[in-house]
Amino acid sequence: MSLWNERRLPRLAPEFYRGQSYIHWTHTVQGRRQGWLNPEFHFIFRERLFHTCVRYHLCCMSYVLMPDHIHLLWIGTKAETDQLKATKFLRKHTPIEWQKQAHDHVLLEKDRTRDALTRVSYYLRENPVRAGIVQNAKDWPYFGSLVPGFPDIDPSDQDSFWRCFLANSRKL
């Protein structure tokens, strides 16, 4: 085994992953294996994502399941939110063998505006188009948003996310 496989990606200090943090996560399937992405897996993934969001006080502004990896844009909603623990929980309870460590991008304050977050969400949503899988992002069935308590959120409509997110934030 090479040294590269034994190393972990650098992480920021734990406090960057706690509280009202905004993080873009990328989880890659071990060996970039494909063939697992189907409607049944999507259903299981959403269920596990829901439990993760409730347990760790998160909203998922956007997720995209790709043939060999997934993207998540998580927003912490309470002081006790811990996205490192949430990531570990989701990976443990999702029936996929993941690479050793997820990649994260902690968004800076300037990247947390509504417009900036909408751009990140749009970028994630366009992944299947850039990969040449579909010509239009709306044709890709493996994407969504999740705000606990708002089952009717429309993942294609960012205004829908913001209405639900803000309503959820007022309850906190």
Q: What is the pLDDT of residues 116-164, one digit of tens each?
A: 999 999 999 999 999 999 999 999 999 999 999 888 888 788 888 888 8
- Residues 118 and 122: their CA atoms lie apart, in Å, by 6
Q: Which residue has the tokens 């366009």?
A: 126
115 in a structural domain: yes
Q: At 98, which CATH number?
A: 3.30.70.1290
- Residues 27 and 154: their CA atoms lie apart, in Å, by 24
Whole-number pLDDT of residue 1: 38
Whole-number pLDDT of residue 125: 96
Tokens of 99: 């690479």
Helices 39-56 and 83-93, axial angle in degrees (round to 10)? 150
The total number of structural domains in the chain stands at 1
pTM: 0.91
77 in a structural domain: yes
Euclidean distance between the first and the last CA atom of the chain, given in angstroms as a whole number: 47
- Residues 172 and 170: their CA atoms lie apart, in Å, by 6
Q: Which domain holds residue 100?
A: 14-171
104 in a structural domain: yes
37 in a structural domain: yes
